[in-house]
Structure 1
Amino acid sequence: MNAPEPAAAPVERAASAWQDHGKDATRQREWAHWDLLLNAWLGKATGHLSPVGVGLAYADWLAHLALSPSKRAELAGKAVRKLMRWQRYALHPALAGEAGESGEAESGVEPLPQDQRFSDPAWRRAPYDLLAQAFLLQQQWWHIATTGVRGVSRHHEDIVNFTVRQFLDMLAPSNFVLTNPVVLDETMRRGGANLVNGAAAALADWRRQQSGGSERFRPGAEVAATPGRVVFRNRLIELLQYAPAGERAHARPLLIVPAWIMKYYILDLSPHNSLVRYLVERGHTVFMISWKNPDAGDRDLSLEDYRCDGVMAALAEVARITGAARVNAAGYCLGGTLLAIAAAAMARDGDERLASMTLLAAQTDFTEPGELSLFIDESQVSFLEASMWEQGYLDTRQMAGAFQMLRSNDLIWSRRLRHYLLDEPQAETDLMAWNADATRMPCRMHSEYLRRLFLDNELARGRYLCDGRPVSLGELELPVLAVATTTDHVAPWRSVYKLLQQTSTDATFLLTTGGHNAGVVSPPGRAGREFRIARRVPGAPYADADAWLAQARRGEGSWWPVWESWLAAQAGPMAPPPPMGPDLGAAPGTYVLQR
């Protein structure tokens, strides 16, 4: 089979539209540049959201709503009933007083359990209770209006529902001083000092965001401080080897492949929070990939470059330094997806250097990628490619904005209320500092990632090419353990579970409480943690996610000890630790410090 042509760059993709008109290649590229410049300029005004994609979603919804008189009648009836309910709630105290009744006020609509905006008793006072009730009733009505319209595509329905929800959250009475009784009470009590201090805090946060990084949690000092050294460096990675904590270590080393969307040290935070330190102290020889923070000069790095110069180069060095014939590997988030691709290519080629594979919150099938799919369709990807083409990479602020929008009530509005209006102190944590320390992504690589994995789902469909030939996860024969988290909005656990449908190998699936980041950073001793785990032996029948959940064993506490025990079984007997590799500088190296 011939090697595939590289994924078409945005200019070539845009220029191809002119080929049928007989234009010469130079003219095509000139017009394509203008197209991309226009889209890139427009993206700066729209937050890099495609106005066409959003417009098509609303056109789909409105057109089908116009063709659905029963739905319109339902909405009209709902509006009247909700208005009457709000009026009864508003008039009940007066009517009860005239009748001499002393009963409780008519019950109002309750917010969702996770919505704490109106939980303070001050919201029970008039007229603020009426404002809260009006908002909640309106929120309910709009949810009904934007869902269940016959004929609307699921993707368009999700976009309309999501954008309407964002707009309502922005206009919630809890966000404004004059309509929030809690803020008004605090302002009166402190003579406005809370608003003055909040403005100063907002300015300080803005300055910190512009400068990048954290003053309190510095890589190599407070975080990313597990002793080690850089033992290999190329144009894309620094490979870190951590110093042994004792006189004996497992025979097989562990290579960790983190996501390149953020810095690697989420797995090596403060000493009490560090998964790397936890493993080293239990006799594992740990190697970590630290990705370069790409700039405009790296715009043509491909997903295949990340596999070859990242995972495969690191694996070769780990084997060379330790002398181990086989290596355990773990991948987190996008790093896990890339590790799965590399493992499938190795299985296809008969390369047996991997002894086991652990995937942490990593997807290998993208048919149900969660709310991130709101930002991923042909229109949106093409629009985003124009922005990346102009600057050569996906900017950190673009990624942060997308993730914040997914949880705007928690990450934007509630934080603004507590920190800027109520002047509540916000203690910075190591996880918060890591989250703010984002990286860029090369134009070509991110375009290939979105198109080949999210849009076309090539890996799950057996069409993903490595070295010009397709790979299949069904060829894996090594033991696999996959970890997912219950409230993950980036890699939903049922999506992560699809790995068991794609493989027939010895596979263990572990579901732990928490989100995409906090669920993974789960050291022993943290209260309120639990997990479920079950193993599927080769040849066992496939069970769907709900069946798995019903029969999985439940455990209390952190999942780290369970994984470490599984990993130790794959890592061989204890022996004197292998030698350290070449000393190219102390950990955490230089790539992690790039801004």
Structure 2
Amino acid sequence: MLNPSSDPTATIKAPPEGESTLYETIDRIVHAGVARSTLGLAPSVLGEAWMDWAIHLAISPGKQLNLMESALRGNMAIWHTALGMGANDDAEDRRFADDAWQVLPFNVWSQAHRQTWQWWQDAMSQVHGVSPEHENLMAFVTSLVVDTTAPSNFPATNPEVMSATVSEKGQNLVRGAQHLLEDLRRMGESAKTATPPPPEVGHTLAVTPGKVIFRNALIELIQYTPTTGSVHPEPILIVPAWIMKYYILDLSPGNSFVRFLVGQGYSVFMLSWTNPGADKRDLGMDDYRRLGIMDAVDAIQAITQASRLHAVGYCLGGSLLAIAAAAMSRDGDDRLASVSLLAAQVDSTEAGELRLFISDSQVTLIEDMMADKGYLSSDQMAGTFALLRARDLIWTPAVKHYLLGQRRHSFDLMIWNSDATRMPARMHSEYLRRLFLNNDLAEGHYHVGDKAISISDIRAPIFAVGTEDDHVAPWHSVYKLHLFVDVDMTFVLTSGGHNAGIVSEPGHQHRHFRIADTAANAAFRDPDEWLADVTPQDGSWWPAFASWLDGHSGAPVSPPPMGASTGRYVALCDAPGSYVLQT
């Protein structure tokens, strides 16, 4: 046998596809260590963006002159503020809204922060030749860095903290130190042991009466108890996102989406996803479709004997529902009477600030990080979402908790937000690569079984909801569903963000929404044209959704039984079940 080291014509056989070599394993271990030290962010991504920006700025003398002029204007604005010659533009920033920020020297400091922030945004934007992706990333990173130095973050430059310290004789700082120690201790404990579910679950949250009538390795299916003498013959299946516990749609009784729908005369079923551990590392997207949605559809039909049902998907659950609905229509399965997608995307090209964290390098680093444990932990995902809104989710709470010594009172949505779940390595990798990075679903490359699917295959009418302040699924991105469907579609744009806009119960103050129908053969309107054409209405969008469901449902009949008397779908336990309580 020839020695490859001595014979230049010899070849070394590559390992079988999918089999890692020792060298690759070493690389993955090192990458995972890097990921842990950088909170899962790929250094190469930031390095590439910085290099792109720096090189193009260096050969752009016009942009450099423009930045010099911008710096001079900023300095003039600061001097005008110091001399009382102009209004402080920071009054609209909630960090500087208190009257104490409108007097010297605090108004100067806040104005200086604003001008610094704006200058760096100008420096990172509109540099000729820089790719939009790199430009957006550099603007985002510099925004994070500058906001870290905001005068509101330090006790010696925050008049509200100084006033509280004087009036309380420093007790606010004592309480803040205690809060910091408590939080550090809690973080240390959660790093060693799984965080238990909030004690409110099953007591004040997720309390709509019902039964778990089916369980497999991935889901528990909850059937809710009817509260009306008759129900529409088409039951409702709700598919929540698996990134969080399902009960965002069944919070306290006053703002439970489930309780509302039950009260409108519907048989409601909900998926409750398991909190996967290392043993679920090989579950993929198709397992979530098959063991989640398809098993649930089979169970609901067996119990209710309904020929068709309404399906509602929220966030990632909506994306998965769109995949399942397209595959069903492709295969001649017409069991869906309607499809409703709440803050869900089928095209990722305009997915907002989340796209800052998605590139081949970034996804590879996440995959290497997940390879060790077999899943993405909840704190890693929570950290990413916190960075997207650092002002509101990091710095403002830090000032209140540790400098002012205030503890925010927990409310149901806040409790739910802290109750995250893990994600299996294979599923999360497939989601990031196929749906986000490669955009396979929108481009016709997504396969279910051995054939591709298309959203245009869906034949059921569609109800879609976007929220005005959504940083996870921007409403312009949600609206793009109009480009992919060939059926009648009703689109709602509601006030609020990704969570609060969906949890918009009737009676909630200061809520509004827009709603309009688009026929299957109607001409396309771009989102801004749609926004200008549709008049806002005060109140919650929930009643409008109930009316839309009524228009696609049959005459009420007697309620179905709660589970089957025997066989596969008997009642196993009371809602909320056991999966939602997993640590």
TM-score (normalised: structure 1): 0.92
User: Aligned partner of 2:416: which letter?
Assistant: W
User: Aligned partner of 2:402: which letter?
Assistant: Y
Paired residue for 1:290?
272
Secondary structure of residue in 1 paired with 2:162: helix
Offset of residue 549 of structure 1: 1.5
Match of 1:129 among 103, 107, 128: 107
CA distance in 2, matches of 1:199, 1:521: 35
Paired residue for 1:588?
576
Instruction: Specify whether residues 84 and 544 from structure 1 end up closer, same or farther in structure 2 by C-alpha distance, changes over 3 A only.
Output: closer
CA distance in 2, matches of 1:89, 1:357: 55
CA distance in 2, matches of 1:133, 1:544: 38
CA distance in 2, matches of 1:593, 1:28: 37
User: Aligned partner of 1:51: which letter?
Assistant: P
Are residues 1:154 and 2:132 paired? yes
Give CA-to-partner distance per residue, 1:508-566, whole Å, 9 cap, x none: 00010000000000111111111000001221111111222122243210001010111
CA distance in 1, matches of 2:510, 2:33: 47
Are residues 1:163 and 2:141 paired? yes
CA distance in 2, matches of 1:84, 1:222: 55
Offset of residue 73 of structure 1: 1.3
After superposition, where does 1:330-409 map in structure 2 within 5 Å?
330-409=312-391
CA distance in 2, matches of 1:562, 1:85: 48
Secondary structure of residue in 1 paired with 2:44: helix
Offset of residue 206 of structure 1: 4.6
Offset of residue 85 of structure 1: 3.7
Are residues 1:141 and 2:119 paired? yes
Offset of residue 212 of structure 1: 3.0
Paired residue for 1:79?
71
Paired residue for 2:567?
none
Paired residue for 2:256?
274
Secondary structure of residue in 2 paired with 1:111: helix
Instruction: Specify whether residues 40 and 87 from structure 1 end up closer, same or farther in structure 2 by C-alpha distance, changes over 3 A only.
Output: same
Paired residue for 1:467?
449
Instruction: Specify whether residues 24 and 455 from structure 1 end up closer, same or farther in structure 2 by C-alpha distance, changes over 3 A only.
Output: closer
Secondary structure of residue in 1 paired with 2:443: coil
Paired residue for 1:3?
none
Does the aligned pair in 2 maintain the 1:263–1:437 contact within 8 Å? yes
Does the aligned pair in 2 maintain the 1:109–1:136 contact within 8 Å? no
After superposition, where does 1:296-311 map in structure 2 within 5 Å?
296-311=278-293
Paired residue for 1:33?
25
After superposition, where does 1:121-520 map in structure 2 within 5 Å?
121-207=99-185, 210=190, 212-213=195-196, 218-520=200-502
CA distance in 2, matches of 1:147, 1:388: 34
Offset of residue 82 of structure 1: 2.3
User: Aligned partner of 2:265: which letter?
Assistant: G
Secondary structure of residue in 2 paired with 1:343: helix
Does the aligned pair in 2 maintain the 1:477–1:506 contact within 8 Å? no
User: Aligned partner of 1:244: which letter?
Assistant: P
Offset of residue 151 of structure 1: 0.6
Paired residue for 2:85?
106
Offset of residue 30 of structure 1: 1.0
Instruction: Specify whether residues 456 and 239 from structure 1 end up closer, same or farther in structure 2 by C-alpha distance, changes over 3 A only.
Output: same
Instruction: Specify whether residues 21 and 181 from structure 1 end up closer, same or farther in structure 2 by C-alpha distance, changes over 3 A only.
Output: farther
Percent identity between the two aligned chains: 49
Give CA-to-partner distance per residue, 1:165-198, whole Å, 9 cap, x none: 0011111110001111110111011111001112
TM-score (normalised: structure 2): 0.94
Q: Mean alpha-carbon deviation: is it higher for 205-214 or for 496-505?
A: 205-214
Paired residue for 1:550?
532
CA distance in 2, matches of 1:122, 1:306: 53
Instruction: Specify whether residues 247 and 371 from structure 1 end up closer, same or farther in structure 2 by C-alpha distance, changes over 3 A only.
Output: same
CA distance in 2, matches of 1:550, 1:27: 55
CA distance in 1, matches of 2:387, 2:45: 17
Match of 2:54 among 47, 59, 62: 62
User: Aligned partner of 2:40: which letter?
Assistant: H
Q: Mean alpha-carbon deviation: is it higher for 382-391 or for 256-265?
A: 382-391
CA distance in 2, matches of 1:393, 1:366: 23
Secondary structure of residue in 2 paired with 1:341: helix
Offset of residue 24 of structure 1: 4.7
Secondary structure of residue in 2 paired with 1:415: helix
User: Aligned partner of 2:537: which letter?
Assistant: G
Give CA-to-partner distance per residue, 1:460-508, whole Å, 9 cap, x none: 1111100110111112221110011000000000100111110110100
Paired residue for 1:116?
94
Does the aligned pair in 1 maintain the 2:80–2:86 contact within 8 Å? no
Paired residue for 2:40?
48
Paired residue for 2:3?
none
Does the aligned pair in 1 maintain the 2:282–2:425 contact within 8 Å? yes
Match of 1:564 among 546, 560, 565: 546
TM-align CA RMSD = 1.6
CA distance in 2, matches of 1:500, 1:287: 27
The number of aligned residues is 561
CA distance in 2, matches of 1:28, 1:250: 54
Does the aligned pair in 1 maintain the 2:57–2:63 contact within 8 Å? yes
Offset of residue 22 of structure 1: 4.2
- Structure 2: gaps (5+ residues): 1-10, 564-569
Q: Mean alpha-carbon deviation: is it higher for 233-242 or for 544-553?
A: 544-553
Paired residue for 2:5?
none
User: Aligned partner of 1:61: which letter?
Assistant: W
CA distance in 2, matches of 1:300, 1:578: 36
CA distance in 1, matches of 2:442, 2:237: 24
Give CA-to-partner distance per residue, 1:404-428, whole Å, 9 cap, x none: 1111001111111122211234110
CA distance in 1, matches of 2:116, 2:291: 53
Instruction: Specify whether residues 318 and 495 from structure 1 end up closer, same or farther in structure 2 by C-alpha distance, changes over 3 A only.
Output: same
CA distance in 2, matches of 1:112, 1:132: 9
CA distance in 2, matches of 1:173, 1:152: 31
User: Aligned partner of 1:53: which letter?
Assistant: V
User: Aligned partner of 1:33: which letter?
Assistant: T
Are residues 1:534 and 2:519 paired? no
